[in-house]
Structure 1
Amino acid sequence: MRFLLQLLPLLPLALGATTSPCTPQEITITPSQILFIAPNSTSCANAPELAKGECVTAAQAAPPLSAAFTKYKVTSRAEQAAVLALIAFESGEFRYNRNHFPGVPGQGTRNMQSPTFNKEYAASIPALEGRFQSVKDDPAAVLDLLLEDAENDFGSGAWFLTTQCADAVRRGLQSGTEQGWRGFIVDCVGTEANEARKGYWVSAVNALQVSE
């Protein structure tokens, strides 16, 4: 019996386990999945001149989006689909990460968050702590800080979901139903669940093979 007890702690290694309860589950979003949701993200050849340098392709967006879902532990495919759809819509399929219409200073990231949310988001990122304190009262400078790193730029959607949405909203999203998605858009994002937004969500659900 003593010999068996000594072997028990070694079983995960023998079975090839590579994660521990403290290790986030690594999540991968592929460029092909993103292209299914945002077909115009194949290239930045026709990117708008007023948003020079903001456009990224599906291939460029995939790594930071994967990193964001891993960092914020968004493991539900249904939740991932909702966030990807929101980002694709708000960023014009990854052409923008600043608000140009009408041009609200400090509004942006791929989630196109308000300056208030961006301030809270930036304050939550340990790597930005020192620099954030010196610009925290300047919305445009806070946004500039967030946009320096693609993982912060693309991480806003997952951060918003996990910090701003009520548990009931997340449970609804996890069901994979249209009702759950509408609850997310209306009750958490705070906007209209219109047909344009729904189109991106339907594409995302299909791309990630979400089932109810």
Structure 2
Amino acid sequence: MHTTTLLTLLPLLAFAVPTPSTATQDTSQITAQQIQQIAPRSVNCDKPPAKGECATADQAAPNIAKSFENYGVTSKAEQAAVIALMAFESEEFRFSRNKVPGVEGQGTRNMQSPSYNAKYASSIPAISDKVSAANGEAGQILDILLADEEYDFGSGAWFLTTQCEQSVRETLQSGSEEGWQGYISGCVGTEANEGRRRYWESAVKALGVSS
């Protein structure tokens, strides 16, 4: 598992927080085949490295697609960047909790820090009672999010749409490498290294993004 503690370099930003829709969503725009192209190991969960954490492309695709519907992420370039980040951080959806250095409460497929998971969980009306009962306990909040695949896979779209400045999103929407680097370094707050770039390139190809 990677050693980067994700999403710790930025101050909390005051953005309006969209809430997931309860309406039935069309999940046809992201397919399991596209997810497998980006994250080949997601074809199955044979011999998973962590009990109960691995998810296949068949599980990931509809939940990621629903998150894009819920949070209004219609740009293919933005979708590719979010999926690539999740694939890298979760080691191709094989983990949902941080293992190294083992930060309590860090997780979801976006491998968010506990502070962002608290904000994310608080933005979802359907789990507000459970979040309140957790009383800020990071591990419990993560457990609540991971109990529902929709919330587990929804963190990437939530983060993009609530924590990234509009200028970052506009540049990212161009489909350029510069836009992707700005998203990783200027919003996510981590290094746009070769490992992340490879997943982004695969996602751009799988989703047919043009710059």
| TM-score, normalised via structure 1 length | 0.86
For residues 44-67 of structure 1, give each alpha carbon's deviation from its aligned partner in whole angstroms, at most 9, with x where no partner exists. Answer: 10311xx20100110111111111
Answer yes or no: is the 8 Å Cα contact 1:121–1:156 preserved in 2.
yes
1:125 matches 2:124: yes
Structure 2: how far apart are the matches of 1:210 and 1:46? Answer: 33
Residue 52 of structure 1 aligns to a residue in which SS? coil
1:24–1:73 contact (8 Å) kept in structure 2: no
Separation in structure 2 between the aligned mates of residue 149 and residue 25 of structure 1, nearest angstrom: 16
CA shift, 1:24, in A, is 9.9
- Residue ranges of structure 2 left out of the alignment (5+ in a row): 1-22
SS of the aligned residue for 1:180 comes to helix
**Once superposed, what is the RMSD of the aligned Cα atoms?**
1.3
2:78 is the alignment partner of 1:89: no
Larger radius of gyration: 1
Q: Which has the higher helix share?
A: 1
Equivalent position amino acid for 1:114 in 2: S
Alignment CA distance shift 1:172-1:136 (3 Å): farther
Deviations 1:131-166 (A, max 9, x none): 111114100000000001000000000000000000
Aligned residues: 188
Give SS of 1:108's match: coil
- Structure 2: which amino acid aligns with 1:47? P
Identity of aligned residues (%): 60
1:11 maps to which residue? none
Distance 2:76 2:150 in 1: 20
Runs of 4+ displaced beyond 6 Å: none
2:54 counterpart residue number: 55
Q: Work out which structure has the larger RCO, using CA pairs closer than 8 Å and 6 or more positions apart in sequence.
A: 2
The one-letter amino acid of 1:158's match is: A
Q: How does 1:133-172 map to 2 (within 5 A)?
A: 133-172=132-171
Q: Specify every segment of 5 or more residues in structure 1 that has no aligned partner in the other structure, as ranges.
A: 1-22
Corresponding residue number in structure 1 for 2:42: 41
Q: TM-score, normalised by structure 2?
A: 0.87
